[in-house]
Amino acid sequence: MAINKVVANAGEATKGIENGMTLMLGGFGLCGIPENCIAELVKLNVKDLTCISNNAGVDDFGLGLLLHQKQIKKMISSYVGENDEFERQMLSGELEVDLIPQGSLAERCRAGGAGIPAFFTPAGYGTEVAEGKEVREFNGKPHILEHALTADFAIVKAWKGDTAGNLVYKATARNFNPMMAMAGKITIAEVEELVPEGDLDPNHVHTPGIFVQRIFQGVNYEKRIEQRTVRQKG
């Protein structure tokens, strides 16, 4: 008998998320972030969260909403330059921060989903990133040991999904969502369009449904742009 993974909304999808948990949240900048679930986490007012995400949103959108309510205890991320509240909390010591090179963050999530406990990478050697980490030489080049990342819940956003949990991402949303979808004990997927099982071409599926436990069709996506750059006419 097939497992019913479809839930009605973000409220049902986020059941079981409690204070002190570790969450992975997909997206790249403001592209492909799970907006509905983030809004629900704000309502739930869960505290002391460790959030693993490429970025921390902006002050009034994305993970910035959780930061404003002091719901995040620790951020594990790679780019945080668009959030003034993040900067304030980090500099004041209110927020623990682990900044990781972007490729290393993606690979640590991928490794967690693949069951690989750790790996060596040259990224970050000779910087603060390498402090306290084992160093080994490969092909005459020093590498640092990085450990895989996993989470209690991985929360991702896809363009399309089917009722079996198979997911298709669009463009930049593929940067972190697929790796994080594999690395959660429970993976929640919110999608722009939910279709019946069998409607997606198997050759186009980016995340197989085996990794997804809960899925729902989201609403009211804003699709914001962090920094709008336009060209002068003429």
pLDDT category at 234 given cuts 50, 70, 90 is: low
Structure tokens at 127: 């910087």
Angstrom CA distances, 129 to 99, 123, 146, 161, 206, stand at: 8, 9, 10, 37, 31
pLDDT category at 32 given cuts 50, 70, 90 is: very high
Question: How far apart (Å, rounded) are the C-alpha atoms in residues 232 and 234?
Answer: 6
CB-CB contact of 51 with 40 (8 Å): no
What is the tens place of the pLDDT at every residue in 157-198?
999 999 999 999 999 999 999 999 999 999 999 999 999 999
CB-CB contact of 156 with 23 (8 Å): no
pLDDT at 232: 82
The structural domains of the chain, ordered by start, are 10-120+150-217 (3.40.1080.10)
Q: Is the pLDDT of residue 40 over 80?
A: yes
